[in-house]
């Protein structure tokens, strides 16, 4: 029987190879649309159900009642809640060409390879025991047949089963998993084979279930009765553990590398998720439907101490249904192989993209565009990684020797990959999450998981000493692996989950809040979080200096020449250029990088393009430089602005100066015409009277004397006018020589009044002599000249019947103020400014050149004071202000 | 929102699609609650026998699958027009 079992197994494997091969061929020819149907996708998700669930669910039901159901209910929750999380992850995965969960997390956090390496290592540590578990299950199930069958041939060694299985799986995985470097990283052959395996394992389990319910139990009613009567009914109900398993299985469904592979990477169409959202729950429901009946039957039928993990095989065998048992074996075998294949592909992609390739890239200083075939190197590194991972699983099994420790590794592995959850969900929903936070969270979660769950699972003194287990690390009791911080009495899984996930999340959030992301992270963060807003263009290449030819050469080595040429051709067409060499625009570099990322991962693709382009997309330095330039330009522009405003100001000043000059010129013309006019009048009369004197002989002495007097008067007037003009010009030019001397104001005014010698009828002067006894230091004659002028003006222009001039003197701060107020009509408002100008006369009543006040103003300016008209005093009022010594 | 549409009310089909999205967000929460109930059952009282527990869980499971299947028909339809705003909601 063992021989036939081996034969059937080999035949099954052969069928798998054929199916995979056929599917690959169909896909390569672009046919076989059923390969991309949502149901194939849904069935491929069944890699979740491994041999551990195929055999182990029954064992778990026999030992712990309903607990196994929680492992199926978690994924059900995730799938029917696909609109929340899965849809977004799949959209991100497709738009960013994500190749693995490590790639997703590293891409999100600025394509940081250190994060990718950490995730990869964690995934390998968490998955290797799981692979060992699958190998063990195949060995155990195989051995189950040995017990009941005839002695085997000498050729067979039971221990070598695992070895041959591992070898065969490595061969299959390398053959179909690294057949090509598809830009989309989809493996139609593998996926189709997995779908077939999904059908086989489901039918196998359902067949055993139907056999148990209708053949062994005798019908559904009897089955229910048997269930209630069995010892399983006394299952331990631990609410914490139930919820914990529900959570951890839901988390693992997204975060397990193999689940991520089939769920996101192999996803052909987002719409398939909608189908899977209900179809996959049906699948797992059917998988778990007969678990309890089989367990009950096993407990009933089989002797005490029989391994409940093998009830699926041993119950049919005990009833002599060898064929069914063999079918069940094939079911378990498919469950084991599908898990190992997908896990190996997922892990090898991660190891190759994030560990091997970066090391190779760093170690090879050669120019990528002329170096060897990168494509071949990627493939080799994948193949090597697959072999390595399976070898790890195999040696893990050999070293630990299997047993109970391995059986519990399923949930432990789930809890390990659940540590990816905060960084992953935080990354797609929270823009501020950064790589420091992610790294801190991942490491802390991983360390706590290893310390509280993974290491103790090997038993005392295996990997962690008994002393630490019982007394805590360094003898600190609050550091005991199963009672951290003194939290005792919890189920070990729940305990580890609570601490690892909560501290992981806490570290992730706190470090993200307190540190600063680099520009790349912020760009990627925005693209991930808002993936539905735009069809996601990842971080940009700031300048496309790359030689298109070099890029084409490199791309051909990574994604194959046909595919690469197609991309370049398409891009060239898009740019409206013939041939295969488009301009290396940032947009093109971005698209190309994403295509390459599908084969070698985002970080590696980025590094490769960077090597050719000569710069890594947007570094902080770049931004700084850009910011610097911007600052310089802004500086320059502000300088320009200042200069321009200066120019405007100067122009305005020039305009003003020009206006002033024009005004001055007008004034000068007016002055000249005034002077000519003033000079002409007396000259005319002098000429006229001198002609009379000359020509008219018969003038008597009186007349002659009269005319000579007129001529004399006019000459005096002319002389005075010329004196005034001269005086004014000297004053205006500042060439006047002042004779500064000490004196008393009262003397100055006395002198001035005396000089004018007006009678009291002509002008009554009212003054307060006591106030005028003030010492002044000034040019006394000049001051007197001003006072005389003002008194004369008052006498001349005051229209009152009894003209009166009031002189008020007072001190006002640093000035001496002299007010001359008469009782006339004053100066009209519009003339008040003008009267200080040359030749301006308020009235035509009195004779005068109109230079008096102009001279006064110039004198006062030269004395450091001023003279102004004082309105609102009843009559004309002038104010003199002298600096007070 | 769709600015081309003048009516304040959405078209019936798109209204229904939006409610389907809402329902698909609520469904897992409801299921989480229902699936957590076995964890709340008292330890060792034995009032709830295993077959009853199984019947309860599988019944909830079946109903959840039926609802999810019904919703997925609305959700997988190609969405016209008003996709952006609602997607944004789910994205944030």
pLDDT, mean of residues A502-514: 94
* Residue numbers of A between 11 and 70 with CB closer than 8 Å to B: 65-66, 69-70
The least confident of A430-444, A759-773, B32-46, B55-69 is: B32-46
pLDDT reported for residue A285: 93
pLDDT, mean of residues A18-45: 83
pLDDT reported for residue A511: 94
Q: Do A66 and B41 touch (CB under 8 A)?
A: no
Cα dihedral across residues A209, A211, A212, A217: positive or negative: positive
| DSSP single-letter state for residue A540 | P
Q: How confident is the model over A200-245, as pLDDT tens digits? A: 999 999 999 999 999 888 888 888 888 888 777 655 566 788 889 8
Per-residue pLDDT at A630 exceeds 60:
yes
Q: Report how far apart, in Å, the C-alpha atoms of A273 and of each of A45, A262, A269, B82 are.
A: 11, 11, 8, 21
Cβ–Cβ contact B47 with A under 8 A: no
Cα dihedral across residues A742, A747, A748, A749: positive or negative: positive
Per-residue pLDDT at A84 exceeds 60:
yes
pLDDT reported for residue A255: 92
pLDDT reported for residue A154: 46
User: pLDDT tier at A617 (50, 70, 90 boundaries)?
Assistant: very low
Report the Cα–Cα distance between both ends of chain A, in Å, rounded: 136
Cβ–Cβ contact B79 with A under 8 A: no
Taking the CB of residue A739, how many other CB atoms lie within 10 A of it?
Answer: 9
How close, in Å, is residue A285 to chain B by CA atoms?
Answer: 8
pLDDT reported for residue A441: 95
Is the CB of residue A766 less than 8 Å from the CB of residue A806? yes
How close, in Å, is residue A215 to chain B by CA atoms?
Answer: 19
Kindly list the residues from chain A whose CB atom is less than 8 angstroms away from the CB atom of residue B28.
77-78, 80-81, 84
Residue-wise over A208-219: b if at least 16 C-beta within 10 A, else e?
bbebbbeebbee
pLDDT, mean of residues A601-611: 72
Say if residue A232 is exposed, middle or buried (CB neighbours under 10 Å; 0-12, 13-18, 19+).
buried
The least confident of A284-298, A402-416, A434-448 is: A402-416
Which among A661, A867, A875, A669 has a CA at the least distance from the CA of A766?
A875
Which among A513, A327, A543 has a CA at the least distance from the CA of A436?
A513
- Per the model's pLDDT, the better-predicted residue between A124 and A159 turns out to be A124
Is the CB of residue A199 less than 8 Å from the CB of residue A28? no
pLDDT reported for residue A540: 40
pLDDT, mean of residues A727-735: 80
Q: Report how far apart, in Å, the C-alpha atoms of B56 and of each of A231, A238, A295, A673, A801 are.
A: 20, 18, 19, 121, 128
How close, in Å, is residue A374 to chain B by CA atoms?
Answer: 38
User: pLDDT tier at A543 (50, 70, 90 boundaries)?
Assistant: very low
Kindly list the residues from chain B whose CB atom is less than 8 angstroms away from the CB atom of residue A426.
none
Q: How confident is the model over B52-92, as pLDDT tens digits? A: 888 888 999 999 999 999 888 877 665 444 443 344 333 33
Q: Do A81 and B35 touch (CB under 8 A)?
A: no
pLDDT reported for residue A882: 87
φ, ψ dihedrals at A866, nearest 5°: -160, 165
Per-residue pLDDT at A707 exceeds 70:
yes
* Residue numbers of A between 72 and 101 with CB closer than 8 Å to B: 73, 76-84, 87-88
Give ∠ CA A104-A106-A107 in degrees, rounded to 5. Answer: 65
> Which of A60, A76, A241, A533 is the best residue to mutate to test the B interface, defined by the most B CB atoms within 10 Å of its own CB?
A76
- Per the model's pLDDT, the better-predicted residue between A739 and B79 turns out to be A739
Kindly list the residues from chain A whose CB atom is less than 8 angstroms away from the CB atom of residue B89.
none
pLDDT, mean of residues A290-295: 90
Per-residue HEC secondary structure of B41-53 comes to CCCCCCCCCHHHH
Q: CA–CA separation, A321 vs A313, rounded Å?
A: 10
User: pLDDT tier at A624 (50, 70, 90 boundaries)?
Assistant: low
């Amino acid at each position: 029987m063992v021989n036939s079992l081996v034969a059937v197994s080999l035949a099954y494997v052969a069928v798998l190879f054929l199916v995979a091969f056929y599917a690959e061929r169909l896909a390569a020819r672009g046919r076989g649309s059923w390969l991309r149907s949502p149901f194939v996708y849904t069935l491929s998700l069944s890699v979740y159900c491994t041999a551990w669930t195929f055999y182990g669910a029954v064992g778990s039901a026999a030992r712990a009642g309903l607990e196994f159901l929680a492992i199926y209910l978690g994924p059900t929750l995730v799938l029917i809640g696909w609109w929340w999380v899965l849809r977004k992850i799949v959209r991100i995965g497709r738009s960013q060409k994500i190749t693995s969960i490590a790639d997703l997390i590293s891409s999100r956090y600025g394509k940081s390879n250190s994060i990718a390496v950490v995730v990869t290592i964690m995934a390998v540590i968490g998955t290797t025991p799981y692979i060992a578990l699958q190998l063990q299950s195949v060995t155990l199930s195989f051995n189950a047949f040995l017990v009941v069958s005839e002695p085997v041939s000498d050729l067979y060694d039971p221990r070598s089963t695992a070895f041959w299985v591992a070898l065969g799986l490595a061969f299959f995985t390398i053959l179909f998993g690294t057949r090509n470097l598809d830009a989309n990283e989809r493996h139609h052959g593998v996926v189709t084979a997995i779908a077939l395996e999904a059908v086989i394992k489901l039918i196998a389990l359902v067949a055993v279930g139907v056999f148990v319910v209708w053949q062994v139990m005798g019908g559904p009613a009897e089955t229910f009765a048997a269930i209630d009567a069995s010892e399983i009914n006394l299952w331990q109900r631990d609410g914490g553990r139930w919820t914990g398993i529900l959570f951890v299985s839901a988390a693992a469904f997204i975060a397990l590398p193999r689940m991520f592979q089939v769920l996101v990477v192999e996803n052909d169409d987002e719409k398939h998720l909608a189908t899977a959202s209900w179809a996959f729950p049906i699948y797992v429901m059917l998988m778990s439907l007969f678990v309890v009946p089989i367990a009950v039957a096993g407990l009933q039928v089989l002797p005490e101490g029989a391994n409940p993990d093998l009830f699926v095989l041993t119950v049919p065998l005990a009833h002599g249904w060898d064929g069914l048992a063999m079918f069940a074996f094939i079911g378990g075998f498919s469950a084991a192989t599908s898990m190992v294949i997908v896990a190996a592909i997922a892990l090898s992609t991660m190891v190759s993209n994030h560990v091997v390739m970066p090391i190779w890239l760093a170690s090879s200083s050669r120019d990528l565009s002329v170096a060897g075939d990168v494509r071949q190197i990627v493939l080799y590194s994948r193949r090597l990684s697959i072999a390595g991972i399976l070898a790890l699983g195999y040696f893990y099994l050999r070293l630990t020797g299997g047993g109970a420790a391995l059986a519990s590794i399923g949930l432990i592995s789930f809890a390990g990959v659940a540590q990816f959850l905060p960084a992953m969900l935080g990354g797609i929903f929270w823009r501020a999450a950064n790589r420091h936070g992610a790294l801190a969270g991942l490491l802390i979660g991983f360390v706590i998981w290893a310390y509280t769950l993974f290491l103790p699972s090997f038993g005392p003194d295996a990997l962690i000493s008994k002393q630490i287990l019982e007394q805590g690390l360094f003898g600190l009791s609050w550091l005991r692996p199963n009672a951290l911080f003194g939290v005792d009495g919890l189920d070990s899984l729940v305990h580890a989950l609570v601490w690892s996930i909560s501290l992981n999340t806490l570290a992730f959030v706190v470090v993200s809040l307190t540190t600063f992301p680099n520009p790349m992270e912020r760009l990627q963060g925005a693209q991930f979080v808002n993936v539905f807003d735009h069809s996601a263009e990842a971080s940009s290449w700031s300048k496309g200096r790359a030689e298109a030819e070099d890029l084409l050469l490199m791309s051909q080595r990574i994604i194959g020449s046909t595919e690469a040429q197609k991309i370049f051709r398409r891009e060239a067409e898009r740019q409206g250029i013939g041939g295969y060499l488009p301009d290396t625009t940032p947009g093109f570099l971005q698209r190309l990088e994403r295509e390459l990322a599908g084969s070698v991962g985002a970080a590696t693709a980025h590094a490769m393009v960077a090597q050719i382009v000569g710069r890594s997309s947007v570094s902080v330095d770049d931004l700084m430089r850009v910011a610097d330039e911007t600052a310089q330009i802004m500086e320059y522009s502000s300088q320009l602005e200042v200069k321009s405003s200066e120019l405007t100001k100067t122009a305005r000043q020039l305009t003003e100066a020009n206006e002033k000059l024009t005004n001055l010129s007008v004034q000068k013309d007016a002055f000249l015409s005034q002077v000519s006019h003033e000079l002409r009048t007396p000259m005319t009369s002098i000429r006229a009277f001198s002609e009379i004197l000359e020509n008219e002989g018969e003038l008597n002495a009186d007349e002659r004397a009269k005319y000579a007097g007129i001529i004399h008067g006019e000459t005096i007037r002319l002389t005075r006018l010329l004196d005034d003009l001269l005086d004014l010009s000297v004053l205006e030019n500042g060439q006047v020589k002042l004779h500064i001397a000490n004196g008393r104001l009262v003397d100055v005014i006395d002198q001035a009044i005396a000089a004018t010698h007006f009678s009291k009828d002509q002008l009554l002067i009212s003054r307060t002599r006591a106030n005028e006894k003030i010492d002044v230091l000034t040019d006394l004659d000049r001051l007197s000249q001003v006072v005389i002028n003002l008194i004369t003006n008052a006498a001349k222009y005051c229209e009152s019947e009894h003209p009166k001039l009031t002189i008020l003197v007072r001190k006002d701060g640093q000035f001496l103020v002299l007010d001359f107020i008469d009782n006339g009509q004053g100066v009209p408002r519009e003339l008040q400014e003008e009267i200080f100008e040359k030749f301006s006369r308020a009235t035509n009543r009195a004779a005068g050149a109109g230079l008096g006040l102009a001279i006064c103003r110039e004198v006062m300016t030269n004395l450091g004071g001023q003279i102004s008209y004082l309105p609102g005093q009843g009559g004309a009022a002038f104010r003199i202000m002298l600096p007070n010594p | 929102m769709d600015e081309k549409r003048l009516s304040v009310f959405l078209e019936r089909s798109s209204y229904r699609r939006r409610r389907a999205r809402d329902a698909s967000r609520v469904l897992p929460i409801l299921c989480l609650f229902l699936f957590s109930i076995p964890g709340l059952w008292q330890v060792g009282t034995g009032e709830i026998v295993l077959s009853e527990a199984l019947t309860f869980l599988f019944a909830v499971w079946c109903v959840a699958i039926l609802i999810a299947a019904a919703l997925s028909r609305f959700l997988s339809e190609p969405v016209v027009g008003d996709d952006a705003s609602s997607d944004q909601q789910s994205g944030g």
